Amino acid sequence: MMTDSNPSTKKKTWKTILLLGATGQVGYEIKKALDQQYLSDPSTNTRLFAPHRLELDLSQPDQIRQKIDEIKPDLIINLSGFTRVDAAETHQKEAHHINAVLPGLIGELAQHLGAFVIHYSSTFIFDGQQRSAYRETDTPNPLNFYGETKLLGEKALFAACAHHLIIRANWCYGDRTNNFAKTILKLAQEKETLNIIEDQIGSPTWARDYANATIQLIEDPQKLRNNPGIYHLSAASSASRLAWATSLLDEARPLRPQTRWAQLRPTTTANYPLVAKRPLYTVTNNEKINKTFGITLPDWQMQVKTFVRSLNNTL
């Protein structure tokens, strides 16, 4: 049997990956995918560190510096974030540190090591006033404190580290932590009617598909390093929150035929006031990431179908 003795033709892989935020929606899915990939192929010799919040307190800069200096990652994937949009208005210090300050610290340490950083941001940096899909070059104008901190985090990372890729995510959901999809499926089994907003438009995107896209990105370290910058990524096509909720229940009913599911009634953002103001339109144009890395996510309805079926007995 012939073997390739030329080291230059061997596929380059990461030596050490540090995953921050591994207990969140996307972070959990990424960790699971990385475990499967590298445990099944030990020849890569890639080390993965995904410290729990009890092992690494992200509110303590000295702990972060010590951990990164200790393991010396060449890839840092940052999924940590204060994602409770309404709570961010009243917990501003905590939200600002995690969303705005931490990315800059990570970037500073990564720059020193020559490491690459993949950082997840949010489409809530936009005000939702336009009605054409947002491109990476469109001007941000956040409406709430959460969006402000996510934008500051992008700027801090950009200023600190040349080797980074920022993914702006849209309407992410999964089977972990509280999110719109889980809340709708729960409340629809408990109530007779639910009022759902129909004038907010976005692209519901399953955390597992974000994880799959991240795995695809890191498969070619050199290509990733050659194409830093900001990228929009979300499910194909768009929907209102009402259409999203309707699709969730359409997929769930056959799995629970004995359940009396709630009737959905349309309402508007104006009739459903929340602490933090929401942008009415956050659809993104995903051409850049497709042309650069060949990444296209499935249609949002297909993702909903797969997500609901994946819940099995926990629905």
Backbone φ and ψ of 232, nearest 5°: -90, 140
304 pLDDT more than 70: yes
Q: What is the pLDDT of residues 264-293, one digit of tens each?
A: 999 999 998 899 999 999 999 999 999 999
Please give the average per-residue pLDDT across 40-56, as a whole number: 82
Catalytic residues, by residue number, are 146
Between 2-16, 51-65, 208-222, the lowest mean confidence (pLDDT) is in: 2-16
Domain containing 67 equals 13-178+204-237+284-297
Q: What is the pLDDT of residues 104-135, one digit of tens each?
A: 999 999 999 999 999 999 999 999 999 899 99
115 is a domain residue: yes
State residue 50's pLDDT score.
93
313 is a domain residue: no
94 pLDDT more than 80: yes
Tally of domains within the chain? 1
Q: Residue 284, CB half-sphere, CA atoms under 13 Å: how many?
A: 31
Q: At what angle do helices 61-71 and 102-113 cross, to 10 degrees?
A: 30
Higher per-residue confidence, 12 vs 51: 51
> Which among 216, 213, 138, 202 is positioned nearest to 170, based on CA atoms?
202
State residue 52's pLDDT score.
87
> Which among 159, 164, 137 is positioned nearest to 224, based on CA atoms?
164
Q: Average model confidence (pLDDT) for the chain?
A: 93
199 is a domain residue: no
State residue 7's pLDDT score.
43
Q: Which CATH number belongs to the domain containing residue 213 in this structure?
A: 3.40.50.720
Please name the residue ranges forming H helices in the chain.
25-39, 61-71, 85-90, 92-96, 102-113, 145-160, 180-187, 207-218, 221-226, 241-252, 287-293, 300-310
305 is a domain residue: no
Q: What is the pLDDT of residues 186-210, one digit of tens each?
A: 999 999 999 999 999 999 999 999 9
Please give the average per-residue pLDDT across 25-44, as a whole number: 83
227 is a domain residue: yes
Higher per-residue confidence, 167 vs 3: 167
243 is a domain residue: no
Please give the average per-residue pLDDT across 99-107, as a whole number: 98
State residue 39's pLDDT score.
63
Higher per-residue confidence, 146 vs 40: 146
Amino acid at 274: L
8 pLDDT more than 90: no
User: Which pLDDT band holds residue 2 (cuts at 50, 70, 90)?
Assistant: very low
Please give the average per-residue pLDDT across 85-109, as a whole number: 97
Residues 169 and 30 sit within 8 Å (Cβ to Cβ): no
State residue 18's pLDDT score.
96
192 is a domain residue: no
Between 23-27, 101-105, 201-205, 294-298, the lowest mean confidence (pLDDT) is in: 23-27
42 pLDDT more than 80: no
- Compute the distance between CA of residue 11 and CA of residue 8 in angstroms, rounded to an integer: 8
